[in-house]
Structure 1
Amino acid sequence: MKKFILYILLGASFGVQAQVNIPRDTSFTLNGTYLKEKKYRPYITIAEVKNEDVIQSSLNLVYDTVGNRDLFLDVFYPKGEASQKYPGVILIHGGGWQSGDKSQMHTIGKALAAKGYVAFAVEYRLSPEAKYPQAVYDLKSSIRWMRANAKQFQLDTRHIASLGTSAGGQLAALLGVTNGNAYFEGNKRGNARFKSAIQAVINIDGTLAFRHPESVEGKAASNWLDGTYEENPKNWESAAPLNHVSKKSVPILFLNSSIPRFHAGRDDMINKLNKYRIYSEIHEFPDTPHPFWFFNPWFLPMMDYTITFLDKTFK
């Protein structure tokens, strides 16, 4: 896939403050992925959620600022009584830690909001802009912001899950095994008195170990982890959710394509979770491309598994 870097200007038409000189890799897009995958599976269609009458949204809200760089998130939440509270889900897009954007999680966010969840599609800094672990700091900061602004979105701060796709799945899982680990908090730039802990994980085809017999991680991982394994083994080991499983880890749902490399470390992680009697669940979709979460016929069953898991864990 051809890749290129753009330096973009976000203007008033997007409802956000103008920002310049932010490097963007635009190689991973929904339309480009659809055209690629349709060649092999002509029956697929892009999933949509159209029950807008039962949900509401707030887009491009600033949750943190790093230097002169604002970080944004989008919120989708149910229409309902102001006194009612709903569990939350942070949505983390994929793209090899170098591409993709939060809009790619909007369909999942709308589907969650329609089922009684507050969904936050979060921007985080990618490898052209910042190396590991800065993305983790961003995501933890966004969770603190969620709790600080819970009343506005009727969020139940006791129940927040992370859901990620591909690289976002790896990050979602890392959030679920690092609750209370000061190393992954950064300097707590904003809302420092609020906690970043989450209570459940949905990992959609995200690797759990970068250096593992099942892993096939290469250039994209090296770009994000600031070097190859030989050059920076500390980051490669630190970024692997498998290496942080403990009694503080949270229940996790694995939703996987039929491509083995994206399950790397899954079975080992489940064995570790079992030792601590922490619940886990696997659903693997046969004959699926890696980015199956974008498309019918897999979107609805994927969301059914997700909602069932969240309802069981939070409600």
Structure 2
Amino acid sequence: MPYVLLALGILFALVAANAHAPRRNAVLLVPSFFLGWLTIEMAPHVLVTWAAATALTAAFGGLDGWAGWTGLALALAAMAGIAATVVASRRTVVTLRDSGAPLDLDPEGAPRYPLAHLIVPQLCLIPRKGVRVERNVLYREEGRLRLRLDVFRPADDAADGELRPGLMQIHGGAWVIGDKREQGLPLLNHMALQGWVGFNVNYRLSPRATWPEHLIDLKHFVAWYKEHAEEYGADPDFLCVTGGSAGGHLTAMVALTANEPEFQPGFEDADTTVQGAVPFYGVYNFFEAGPWPVPMGATRILEKMVVKKPFAENQELYAKASPVTYIREDAPPFFVIHGSHDSLIPVAEARRFVERLRDVSASPVIYAEMKGAQHGFDVFPSYRTARVIEGVERYLTGLHRQYRQGTGPGVPEEVTQSLEEPSVG
């Protein structure tokens, strides 16, 4: 048993080290990401499991020798490292870069995410009390093509019959995998309880789909929303968009390419404007290197499966697939969110996009950098996810209030107030 405990200690130490410093080389990138992602965002559950395994091994003779004691020391050090990630996530504080001001996403009195979902993450798959979900609503039908969405809305209709704000959720998955049933559920449930109507939207995936068919599908949804929003109690004139990873890229494209005829073939006259965008850990530039050794467009997945054309001879096409190309003065407000430990899309990608967007856009651009967070951190309802969801709700609700008041987009009052409060982390 001593050598079993030693093996456990070494394993725990390696996993903890990977969580704090994920590998980014070609061979270890994917396994390092998945291991770090699960470890960081499920840290309380990992910590309990490790502690139980260590205690049981020690109780059955694991400390009978130097190997066991060495393993125990390594296991305790690893658990201390994981405990530090729990503390960091519970004290989630994001920094608005260039301002140096902390944005506390956990103010007293704000709507809170349920503790039960943090203990049993699977509960996020079940609609919360007070939320009704209508599944597999058909929003685009053309020949054999049928695209569907799920609607999340308050169980009770608005007492005064007032229309509610709408939120479009776009799942990620590298443009080739993913489904509306898998992502955005913690956010959509929370937003529905705060009076929003959420639409979790599917779109065609590669390799069957070729860019820009993914975006065209989502434009069809926006046009559909304008026509059918009232059927679900939503305001057709107010829609915000959010999504993570590939969904973050598509979120930015939807927001920045409103009414672009190239992406609206056959429905060029449809209004596809949105009133706000919240992209999570997205890709915003396919044609320039910087955060990575080569441009994102030169990667195999984009050249062979998504765009399906070689990058070297088609750089203009990749530029047209990049949100940064469409930055403009009348862009809608953005709240960009990224994790500092993201090993799939480096955090520098978000920083340079935000910098360029701020240089041009007349609307406010807020950037939240989540310290210690991996890619896809919001898929699980962790402590960090809860704080971010609460912050996104405050931000979007502030935008909707400004829309109703006719004051034009600005930094919501809730955000301004939190900037003036002392940091808690």
TM bin (shorter chain): 0.7 to 0.9
CA drift of 1:228 comes to 3.4
Counterpart CA distance in 2 for 1:39 and 1:304 is: 23
Counterpart CA distance in 1 for 2:176 and 2:237 is: 32
Aligned: 1:153 with 2:239: no
CA drift of 1:122 comes to 0.4
Counterpart CA distance in 2 for 1:200 and 1:111 is: 18
Aligned: 1:300 with 2:386: yes
**Structure possessing the higher radius of gyration over alpha carbons:** 2
User: Which of residues 26, 47, 71 in structure 1 aligns to 2:147?
Assistant: 71
User: Which of residues 125, 128, 136 in structure 2 aligns to 1:60?
Assistant: 136
**Where do 4+ consecutive residues of structure 1 move more than 6 Å?**
33-36
- Structure 2: segments with no counterpart, 5+ residues: 1-32, 46-117, 402-425
Q: Contact conserved, 2:354 with 2:365, CA < 8 A, in 1?
A: no
Higher mean C-alpha deviation, range 91-100 or range 151-160: 151-160
- Structure 1: segments with no counterpart, 5+ residues: 1-32
Measured at CA, do residues 287 and 112 of structure 1 come closer, stay the same or move farther in structure 2, by a change above 3 Å?
A: same
Measured at CA, do residues 193 and 243 of structure 1 come closer, stay the same or move farther in structure 2, by a change above 3 Å?
A: closer
Alignment of 1:1-315 (within 5 A): 37-39=37-39, 42-43=43-44, 46=121, 48-49=123-124, 52-78=128-154, 79-81=156-158, 83-104=161-182, 105-188=184-267, 194-212=270-288, 213-215=290-292, 217=296, 218-222=299-303, 223-258=305-340, 259=342, 261-264=346-349, 266-295=351-380, 296-315=382-401
Structure with the higher fraction of residues in helix conformation: 2
Counterpart CA distance in 1 for 2:269 and 2:300 is: 38
Counterpart CA distance in 2 for 1:265 and 1:35 is: 23
**Aligned partner letter, 2:169:** L
CA drift of 1:257 comes to 1.1
Counterpart CA distance in 2 for 1:228 and 1:72 is: 32
CA drift of 1:269 comes to 4.1
Greater RCO (Cα-Cα under 8 Å, separation 6 or more): 2
* Equivalent position SS for 1:202: strand
Q: Contact conserved, 1:73 with 1:120, CA < 8 A, in 2?
A: yes
Describe the superposition over 1:138-189 as per-residue Cα deviations: whole angstroms up to 9, x where unpaired. 001011111211121111122101101000000000111111211111222x
Counting aligned pairs with the same residue, the percent is 22
Q: Contact conserved, 1:89 with 1:118, CA < 8 A, in 2?
A: yes
Structure with the higher fraction of residues in strand conformation: 1
Counterpart CA distance in 2 for 1:244 and 1:163 is: 18
TM-score of the pair, normalised by structure 2? 0.61
CA drift of 1:100 comes to 0.8
Counterpart CA distance in 2 for 1:141 and 1:47 is: 32
**Aligned partner letter, 2:142:** V
**Aligned residues: CA RMSD:** 2.3
TM-score of the pair, normalised by structure 1? 0.81
Counterpart CA distance in 2 for 1:183 and 1:173 is: 16
CA drift of 1:108 comes to 2.1
